[in-house]
Structure 1
Amino acid sequence: MSFNIALSGIAAAQKDLDTTANNIANVNTTGFKESRAEFADVYATSIFSSGRTKVGDGVATSVIAQQFSQGSLQFTNNSLDLAVTGEGFFALTPDRQSQDLTYTRSGAFKLNKDNFIVDNNGNFLQGFAVDPVTGENQSVSLSTTQPISIPTSAGAPRATSNVFLSMNLDSRAVETGSTTFDPTDRATYNHSTSVTVYDSLGEAHTVTTYFRKLATPTPPAAAEWETKLVWDDNTAHPTIPAPVAPATRNPNSWFSGDNLQFDSNGSFRLPAPPAAAPTIGVPTADLNDPANGYLTNGAQFSAPVVVNFRDASGVKLPTQYASNFDVQNLSQDGTTVGNLTGVDIDAFGRVLASYSNGDSAYLAQVTLVRFANVQGLKQVGNTSWKQSITSGEPIGGQANTGTFGAVNASSLEQSNVNLTTELVDLISAQRNFQANSRALEVNSTLQQTVLQIR
């Protein structure tokens, strides 16, 4: 009996050594979770045996329990490196159409040749669909997850229809002596500013807005400014010939807009409703007429290009203070085709792509999954797990809520192995093995002594 007990002790000590050695071997494995060998004594008796004199039958390995404590973060320069500070796991699938989910804490992700986010083994990182503008997720059901893709371009161009401009016009400016506006003569206007707009094919055009201070404002305004607009001014683009001017327009090919009026405090005077706020624009008939030469690439505008003297929200309006000319807001709603310039992932796991044309869009929200019993997960290698009967069903959710934890971009979760503790455990397991080996040796000596009795 003592022979079998000693053998069970050696087997248990070997299992302890194996577990410790595996922990030490993975001390630098990203997302690795250390294991702990847990043992139980073996005791068997019958209804007719005395429990008072019964000796145990040795030891057995009860379970190799993984310890899912948080590992420390290692910061990197790769925005696709992700780490979770919490209980959540990343969800992966082996291919784009599969629903066979595996779960990992190793967030060393990268783009594959098709611009999908994958791990080192080519498994696809799963995400929830989101609103591209607000980033609000549409579902947290694991059945709706999709592989996260990062498009390298911003999609089809969008023609400009509105320019938003607010500025301060210098009240100290002197009225121009000339009564005729000429964009090539600096003496015929006070201020100017330009913005790039885009046609339906994404080609860039320059729209320049000019301001001329009037000597006699219209009552009750204290000051008044004329506005002019020039499309693809040949002074800004010497290689572009000046457009042909229709008979209804000034020979210098400029457009007149509404006058801007200010009160004695320098505040913008909006017209009383139902009159529209001041604007200046280029009608579609002029833009799309080939005779004008504004569009030479076959593009067409479906709406006029209008300069609105306010910001997009209508909060910032022009002012006229005794201060230098200053553009406070200048934007437009058109885009050309843009190339990917950056990817950012916030604590909620929302993936935001930025493009060279100024566009940005939320692409997805990284899926996080938690379990009722993480120690019940089944290891499948490559620092990954699958659900089991004892782990419970996977519960999907968004990062930074509940116990899922936050997503940390440009970070990796290091192994939670404490090397000092493992080395101490290694010595302890070695001593345990030696002691059981000694017990086995003593048992063998006793058996030899019995056999030699005559």
Structure 2
Amino acid sequence: MAFQQGLSGLNVYSKALDVVSNNIANASTVGFKAAQAHFADVYAGALNGSGASQVGIGVGLAAVQQQFTQGNISVTNNALDIAINGNGFFRLQQSTLDQTGYYTRNGQFHLDKSGYIVNSNGGYLTGYDSADGVNVDTASIVPLTVGTEGIQPQQTGWSSSLDASQGGLIIGVNLDNRDKKAATIAAGSDWTELTPFAWDSTFNTSMYNYSTSATIYDQAGASHTLTNYYVRSGDSGVDARTWDVYTVIDNKYLVSATPTQLEFEPNGTLVGNAGDYRFELDLSATVMQDGTAMDLTSDTGLNWFAQSPGVSGDFAFYMDMGKSTHYGMAYNTDDIIQDGYTAGTLTKLSVDEKGFVVGNYSNGQTKLMGQVVLAEFNNPNGLQSMGDNLWVETFASGQPTIGTPGAGTRGSLQSGSVEESNTDLTQELVNMIVMQRNYQANAQSIKTQDQILQTLVSLR
């Protein structure tokens, strides 16, 4: 009498119950992938005949396959909680030197004391680094780190962030064509006497037609107010389309006693192109103070751009007024753009769907810290589970293909979210009932075999 079939059933369904119990136990584990027991019948060719008379000798556990289906995504309050929506795994390293890859779907990350992005077990999230804060280096994969230091100030000046035909400061205004008033105090020596400006009765709106101001920044990140005063040169003929512009800094320093001249076409646009009206404010040039020549780069109290100890040197930037117009409509400042900013501290981090890690600073600037990468495998079920929500590659899984989120068949990322376990509790409870009944049935088959054997033994 054979007990093999019933005993194999007890063994297999006991393991199947272990699988179901493990799924239920991890129903709240972020990034967990539920497993499923696969069964196979067992035959022995040398026993119980062959072909139509062959009798099986039980059941075996063929495999325990994890189901890499998408889990639900829930929102959290941590910007470094990252959920994968689609295929792929985060790649981790156990140290900055050990380049062995570990893979996970658990995207619960935070910063360690050194600024590295790590998981709860101290594993380092890897990706592409950004050395310049603008582009990423895709040549190598390294642990991602976030510089928690502040961002340095940038003085107003030439920058590629502005159009190549424009300067560090862009001021576009409309000067009212209908205003025929010319300044009652002529430009030139009379303006020179007001350098630096004194806001008293000697300076009033009768001296200019329109003014507009912009904020600019020096090398130390200190802000300064730049004001342009627009004075209509004449009231007839070509002179009626000519304007003098006086530039004053901090309501005190007249940059040059010689104004910049804007000349307009009859249709209200500037004569020539915008580049003709881009000029450099070089504060090493002498200016006038009460009729006396002064040098802003050397005279005490006038080195306005050197507000911090140790800051020295010339301060120059470009101002482009090429967007100015001369239409028959009210005065208006249409556009002010400048590329300087003060120093800033890191206020928050964000990760976009492509995996770009961006730092946001108190001065409104942003800086690219790096880019998270995702790994894919031809056979995810060939991965070996290591615990702690980690897998490692094996010969069966094949080598990973690593790239950016959203590229190819890789999923996209969702910051401030986590992927929940894909365990279906309802299904698992049903599976538990089925496995329990199967276990009981196999126990009953052994009991029946025992009763038959007892009958045989009792024969006399």
Question: TM-score of the superposition, structure 2-length normalised?
Answer: 0.84
- Which residue does the alignment assign to 1:397? 403
- Which residue does the alignment assign to 1:414? 420
For 1:159, give the aligned amino acid.
Q
- Which residue does the alignment assign to 1:175? 182
Per-residue CA deviation, residues 274-318 of structure 1 (Å, 9 max, x unaligned), is x843436243354421332423434224452332224xxxxxx11
- Which residue does the alignment assign to 2:165? none
Per-residue CA deviation, residues 352-375 of structure 1 (Å, 9 max, x unaligned), is 222223332222111111011111
Query: Which residue among 213, 219, 222 is the counterpart of 1:203?
Result: 222
Q: Gapped runs of 5+ residues in structure 2?
A: 158-167, 286-294
Shift of 1:254: 6.0
Specify whether residues 227 and 279 from structure 1 end up closer, same or farther in structure 2 by C-alpha distance, changes over 3 A only.
farther
Shift of 1:269: 2.0
- Which residue does the alignment assign to 2:162? none
- Which residue does the alignment assign to 2:375? 369
Query: Which residue among 120, 143, 160 is the counterpart of 1:147?
Result: 143
Tell whether the 8 Å contact from 2:255 to 2:281 is kept in structure 1 after alignment.
no
- Which residue does the alignment assign to 1:318? 324
Distance 2:451 2:217 in 1: 95
Distance 1:423 1:58 in 2: 25
Specify whether residues 329 and 345 from structure 1 end up closer, same or farther in structure 2 by C-alpha distance, changes over 3 A only.
farther
- Which residue does the alignment assign to 2:458? 452
Per-residue CA deviation, residues 245-272 of structure 1 (Å, 9 max, x unaligned), is xxxxxxx676544112222222122369
For 2:406, give the aligned amino acid.
N
- Which residue does the alignment assign to 2:243? 225
Shift of 1:43: 0.9
Distance 2:69 2:329 in 1: 61
Give the match's secondary structure for 2:260. coil
For 2:107, give the aligned amino acid.
G
Shift of 1:49: 4.2
Query: Which residue among 309, 317, 324 is the counterpart of 1:305?
Result: 317
Tell whether the 8 Å contact from 2:283 to 2:314 is kept in structure 1 after alignment.
no
Give the match's secondary structure for 1:284. coil
Shift of 1:68: 0.6
Tell whether the 8 Å contact from 1:87 to 1:404 is kept in structure 2 after alignment.
yes
Distance 1:48 1:450 in 2: 21
Please identify, of 429-438 and 110-119, the stretch whose mean Cα deviation from structure 2 is larger: 110-119
Distance 1:384 1:264 in 2: 73
Question: TM-score of the superposition, structure 1-length normalised?
Answer: 0.85
Specify whether residues 253 and 346 from structure 1 end up closer, same or farther in structure 2 by C-alpha distance, changes over 3 A only.
closer
Give the match's secondary structure for 1:380. strand
Tell whether the 8 Å contact from 1:39 to 1:60 is kept in structure 2 after alignment.
yes
Specify whether residues 329 and 132 from structure 1 end up closer, same or farther in structure 2 by C-alpha distance, changes over 3 A only.
farther
1:27 aligns with 2:16: no
Distance 1:440 1:450 in 2: 15
Distance 1:306 1:287 in 2: 17
User: Size of the alignment, in residue pairs?
Assistant: 425
Shift of 1:379: 0.7
Shift of 1:47: 8.8
Specify whether residues 302 and 99 from structure 1 end up closer, same or farther in structure 2 by C-alpha distance, changes over 3 A only.
farther
Tell whether the 8 Å contact from 1:165 to 1:330 is kept in structure 2 after alignment.
yes
For 1:224, give the aligned amino acid.
T
- Which residue does the alignment assign to 1:266? 268
Specify whether residues 253 and 220 from structure 1 end up closer, same or farther in structure 2 by C-alpha distance, changes over 3 A only.
closer
Specify whether residues 189 and 103 from structure 1 end up closer, same or farther in structure 2 by C-alpha distance, changes over 3 A only.
same
- Which residue does the alignment assign to 2:292? none
Tell whether the 8 Å contact from 1:42 to 1:56 is kept in structure 2 after alignment.
yes
The alignment-based identity, stated in percent, is: 34
Please identify, of 346-355 and 44-53, the stretch whose mean Cα deviation from structure 2 is larger: 44-53
RMSD: 2.7
Give the match's secondary structure for 1:84. strand
For 1:350, give the aligned amino acid.
F
Please identify, of 145-154 and 11-20, the stretch whose mean Cα deviation from structure 2 is larger: 145-154
- Which residue does the alignment assign to 2:234? 215
Shift of 1:190: 3.0
Specify whether residues 444 and 169 from structure 1 end up closer, same or farther in structure 2 by C-alpha distance, changes over 3 A only.
farther
Pairing 1:59-208 to 2, within 5 Å after superposition: 59-130=59-130, 132=132, 135=135, 137-139=136-138, 144-161=140-157, 162-173=168-179, 174-179=181-186, 180-181=190-191, 184=199, 185-187=203-205, 188-208=207-227
- Which residue does the alignment assign to 1:384? 390
Please identify, of 344-353 and 62-71, the stretch whose mean Cα deviation from structure 2 is larger: 344-353
Shift of 1:321: 2.5
Please identify, of 32-41 and 147-156, the stretch whose mean Cα deviation from structure 2 is larger: 147-156
Give the match's secondary structure for 2:405. coil
Specify whether residues 32 and 280 from structure 1 end up closer, same or farther in structure 2 by C-alpha distance, changes over 3 A only.
same
Query: Which residue among 333, 342, 347 is the counterpart of 1:336?
Result: 342
Per-residue CA deviation, residues 197-218 of structure 1 (Å, 9 max, x unaligned), is 333333333322222222347x
Per-residue CA deviation, residues 44-69 of structure 1 (Å, 9 max, x unaligned), is 12299444433211111111001111
Distance 2:133 2:260 in 1: 33
Pairing 1:4-15 to 2, within 5 Å after superposition: 4-15=4-15
Distance 2:257 2:19 in 1: 81
- Which residue does the alignment assign to 1:249? none
Shift of 1:121: 1.7
Shift of 1:451: 3.2
Tell whether the 8 Å contact from 1:229 to 1:280 is kept in structure 2 after alignment.
no
Q: Gapped runs of 5+ residues in structure 1?
A: 234-241, 244-251, 311-316
Specify whether residues 339 and 169 from structure 1 end up closer, same or farther in structure 2 by C-alpha distance, changes over 3 A only.
farther
Distance 1:400 1:95 in 2: 27
Specify whether residues 267 and 118 from structure 1 end up closer, same or farther in structure 2 by C-alpha distance, changes over 3 A only.
same
Distance 1:171 1:195 in 2: 23
1:435 aligns with 2:441: yes
Distance 2:40 2:348 in 1: 54
For 2:432, give the aligned amino acid.
L
Shift of 1:114: 2.2
1:55 aligns with 2:55: yes
